[in-house]
Structure 1
């Protein structure tokens, strides 16, 4: 439904990279805009992943995943993880946090343990309990009208 897609493109959201380990041991990750806090007690997030994503199956079966909320300085990281490239981690500063690939530059990092995974329509919903939270100050990278490069304007508002 085109009207629904257009309406949702006008909903301002943050951007996050979701990461986990594939069964063979290599890292995988993707960019999402469908993410929100789900619960405070226990601290949990809700993430939605398209069935067409190559990371969908590893995420649906993982024991842990990472949520990296991106700041305005990470537009290049957002574009990398939005792409269909084979190795999105080449050239990025990252490390293993237990079984979770952690991007060093992300201002917000949450390591999560999945507590619920279910399919709805053409997407998979993951609910993850947060087991680690690291937060640094940064302006957010904002997704609006299908563009990855919006910034919050000083004094209010958005600008590309």
Structure 2
């Protein structure tokens, strides 16, 4: 093996542990496939632009939600509250009807979860592939902001709580 291959293998072996030390908020991204709602949990979400208001997220190209998300016109981003770990669990799993028993509704063709602190309805603006994931950029068409502290993912756990000033 070459030194470069060995270096790449070394990075690949520690990269997941390195990223586990990066605190991130959690969001459920929703879209639709024909008339059925689809959704997944993401930790790779950030503000992308203020003008126009845009978000950036990534999705595994092997995900069942990949095609509906990247070929659809719109999608929803739901920032979760620290009390919504069960919702995070549900959307982190593969298969099953993730929406069964949840309070949700259609918002102009986008599945919108009720009871989340932040909801953004986004128009798909750009998708490009990189490695085993795709980068998705959405322009925010509608936004609702309520109350609630964020659900934070750190150390492969999402039961962390942020604490404000004492």
CA distance in 1, matches of 2:102, 2:49: 31
CA distance in 2, matches of 1:114, 1:55: 14
Q: Indicate which of 6, 18, 21 corresponds to 2:32.
A: 21
- Provide the TM-score with structure 1 as the length reference: 0.94
Instruction: Return the index of the structure with the highest Cα Rg.
Output: 2
CA distance in 2, matches of 1:103, 1:120: 29
Q: Which ranges of 4 or more aligned residues in structure 1 deviate by more than 6 Å?
A: none
Deviation at 1:153, TM superposition (A): 2.9
Deviation at 1:38, TM superposition (A): 0.1
Structure 2: gaps spanning 5 or more residues: 1-11
- Aligned residue number for residue 5 of structure 1: 16
Deviation at 1:154, TM superposition (A): 4.4
Instruction: Please state whether the residue corresponding to 1:125 is helix, strand or coil.
Output: strand
Deviation at 1:8, TM superposition (A): 0.8
- Aligned residue number for residue 66 of structure 1: 76
CA distance in 2, matches of 1:152, 1:39: 25
CA distance in 2, matches of 1:154, 1:85: 37
**Number of residue equivalences:** 155
CA distance in 1, matches of 2:115, 2:13: 36
Q: Indicate which of 95, 101, 105 corresponds to 1:95.
A: 105
- Provide the TM-score with structure 2 as the length reference: 0.90
Structure 1: gaps spanning 5 or more residues: none
Q: Indicate which of 70, 79, 94 corresponds to 2:89.
A: 79
1:151 maps to 2:150:
no
